Chain A
Amino acid sequence: MDYFLLYSNCVLVKGAHRATLCDLQKGAVYFIPKPLADLFLEDQAVDLVQLREKTEGDMVLFLMEIIDSLVENQLGFYTNQQEWKRFPALNKEWLFPAHISHCILDTATGRLDYFTESFVEQLSKLCCNFVQLRFFGIPPIEHLENILRLITGSQIKSVEILMPWNTAYESGCTYGKWINDYKKISSLVCWGAPSTCVVKEGARAMGYLLYTSEQINAATHCGIIDQGMFSTNITTYTESLNFNSCLNRKISIDIQGDVKNCPSMKESYGNIGDTTLVEAIGKPGFKKYWNITKDQVSICKDCEFRHVCTDCRAYLEDPGDVYSKPLKCGYDPYICEWAEWSTHPLKQKGINFYGLEKPAF
């Protein structure tokens, strides 16, 4: 056995200072040192004979111990050169059977009056199966239940809801009732709550009721890049290799009713009052961000997390450069450290440009 070979669901992502091995089936990320990452052939296998020849002294033992632990954690196995080629690599194509994969709808008032049967029909034509409703005002119970009934009977697979925490809804057990009655709710996040906690644990990523004490009262809160938001799965990985991991196949409607790539972005492709979603998507420029991959974005291209992370093109460190790093990411892949982005000296230009210096975030 003179080769170590990764299972095809475990992928190597090289960064400037270290690399990650992402187990896309178990959803786990492991770090490996750069000297070991550099020994991988075709990002799949390590020639153990070469490792012993090219590496000096105690380093051989150190790297072999790491490889042993990777075998223990079921990331790969020992094999030989002939066997290696019998294990094909993961197909890197990203295929998604929809013109639009997800839709974000913002409202400042608590009402989404355009969310009618005909709007659901528009989503259906685009094969959009995932919807997020972001309420910055309290939705009336009957209004939200009407929306949820429309979703229940549609081809939409799941809906995530953000809304202000409300004492009357809490004491009336309204949140819990919604989670129980509407099985397509993946999570209901109540912001401005007295504490941050998981109120009801869901199952298989569906049916979560979460409270957060954060005040999420505007789209400017979006764009946070954090380890808690990593998605280690085949779909995110392959999409990230080929497309923008935030804006690809996304459509949004902001609080004014303007159809956009993302509610935080400036460009509008018409108002939902007089433009259909299909018309908006067909307008020049709507898909211009879809092909900006993490491998093209400054600094992100050197980050070992880039294919489990999502991007943000709405808030950029350098607002004049469309390939700039996301403003709200505090990770430095050159020293492998996370820092608070909002106080970082290099971020102040972007913070001032987007008007984020106010206590809105």
Chain B
Amino acid sequence: MIARSESERQKTINEFLDWLDAHRENLPVNAATWTFQYIEQQAVPEHELVSLGKYNARKAASISFYKPYSKICKF
């Protein structure tokens, strides 16, 4: 997948900012303090998807445990 050009990225950002302005009254009170990041979704080839088991869930990346499994070494 080819990354979008800078002008295309800026266009998307501007569209989003316009949308925020247009819907200000329907958004939470702290919407003015929101920050956002532009992230492009990378296409992952079918054979590289991770299978998460019996529910046919297939994702680009699996997920790690939310805390140390054991506390055996520190980095």
**Do A and B belong to a common assembly?**
yes
Interface residues of A (CB under 8 A from B): 74, 77, 83, 101-102, 104, 124, 130-132, 134, 152-158, 160, 162, 183-184, 186-187, 189, 191, 196, 198, 203-206, 210, 212, 214, 216, 219, 221-226, 228-229, 231, 233, 235-236, 239, 245-246, 262-263, 310, 312, 328
Q: In the complex, are the beta carbons of B75 and A231 less than 8 A apart?
A: no
Inter-chain CA distance A191–B69, complex, in Å, is 17
Q: In the complex, are the beta carbons of A155 and B54 less than 8 A apart?
A: yes
Q: In the complex, are the beta carbons of B71 and A104 less than 8 A apart?
A: no
**B14 contacts A by Cβ under 8 Å:** no
Given A155-B52, A216-B73, answer yes or no on A186-B66 (Cβ-Cβ < 8 Å): no
Given A155-B52, A229-B71, answer yes or no on A77-B30 (Cβ-Cβ < 8 Å): yes
**B46 contacts A by Cβ under 8 Å:** no
Interface size on B, residues (CB 8 A): 25
**B53 contacts A by Cβ under 8 Å:** yes
Which residues of A are found within 8 Å of B72, using beta-carbon distances?
134, 162, 216, 219, 221-222, 224
Q: In the complex, are the beta carbons of A235 and B66 less than 8 A apart?
A: yes
Q: In the complex, are the beta carbons of B73 and A204 less than 8 A apart?
A: no
Interface residues of B in 39-75 (CB under 8 A from A): 48, 50-55, 61-75
Given A155-B52, A183-B48, answer yes or no on A206-B71 (Cβ-Cβ < 8 Å): no
Inter-chain CA distance A212–B72, complex, in Å, is 11
Inter-chain CA distance A186–B69, complex, in Å, is 11
Given A183-B50, A184-B50, answer yes or no on A157-B63 (Cβ-Cβ < 8 Å): yes
Given A203-B61, A210-B75, A312-B71, answer yes or no on A233-B66 (Cβ-Cβ < 8 Å): yes
Of the residues A74, A224, A239, contact of B33 by C-beta under 8 Å: A74
Inter-chain CA distance A77–B29, complex, in Å, is 11
Which residues of B are found within 8 Å of A101, using beta-carbon distances?
65
Q: In the complex, are the beta carbons of B67 and A158 less than 8 A apart?
A: no
In the complex, the chain A residue whose C-beta lies closest to that of B54 is: A155
Q: In the complex, are the beta carbons of A310 and B67 less than 8 A apart?
A: yes
Which residues of A are found within 8 Å of B69, using beta-carbon distances?
102, 104, 130-132, 160
Q: In the complex, are the beta carbons of A157 and B62 less than 8 A apart?
A: yes
Report the minimum CB–CB distance from A308 to chain B (whole Å). 9
Q: A104-B69, A132-B69 are in contact. List 18 more A-B contacts (CB 8 A).
A: A77-B30, A101-B65, A102-B65, A102-B69, A124-B53, A131-B69, A152-B51, A160-B65, A183-B50, A183-B61, A198-B75, A206-B63, A216-B72, A222-B71, A229-B71, A231-B66, A231-B68, A236-B66
Of the residues B30, B51, B64, B70, contact of A186 by C-beta under 8 Å: B64
Q: In the complex, are the beta carbons of A226 and B66 less than 8 A apart?
A: no
Inter-chain CA distance A198–B29, complex, in Å, is 43
Which residues of B are found within 8 Å of A184, using beta-carbon distances?
50, 62
Of the residues B30, B55, B71, contact of A223 by C-beta under 8 Å: B71
Which residues of B are found within 8 Å of A310, using beta-carbon distances?
67-68, 71
Which residues of B are found within 8 Å of A156, using beta-carbon distances?
53
In the complex, the chain B residue whose C-beta lies closest to that of A133 is: B69
Inter-chain CA distance A233–B64, complex, in Å, is 13
Q: What are 13 A-B pairs at a CB distance below 8 A?
A: A134-B72, A160-B64, A183-B50, A204-B64, A221-B72, A222-B70, A223-B71, A229-B68, A233-B66, A235-B67, A236-B67, A239-B67, A246-B71
Q: In the complex, are the beta carbons of B53 and A158 less than 8 A apart?
A: no
Inter-chain CA distance A155–B73, complex, in Å, is 27
In the complex, the chain A residue whose C-beta lies closest to that of B48 is: A183
- Please, what's the 1-or-0 string for B17-38, where 1 marks a CB less than 8 Å from any CB in chain A? 0000000000001100100000
Inter-chain CA distance A235–B64, complex, in Å, is 13
Which residues of B are found within 8 Å of A221, using beta-carbon distances?
72-73
Which residues of B are found within 8 Å of A219, using beta-carbon distances?
72
Of the residues B51, B54, B70, B73, contact of A104 by C-beta under 8 Å: B70
Q: In the complex, are the beta carbons of A183 and B62 less than 8 A apart?
A: yes
Given A77-B30, A183-B50, answer yes or no on A158-B64 (Cβ-Cβ < 8 Å): yes
Inter-chain CA distance A239–B65, complex, in Å, is 13
Given A74-B33, A77-B30, A157-B52, answer yes or no on A186-B65 (Cβ-Cβ < 8 Å): yes
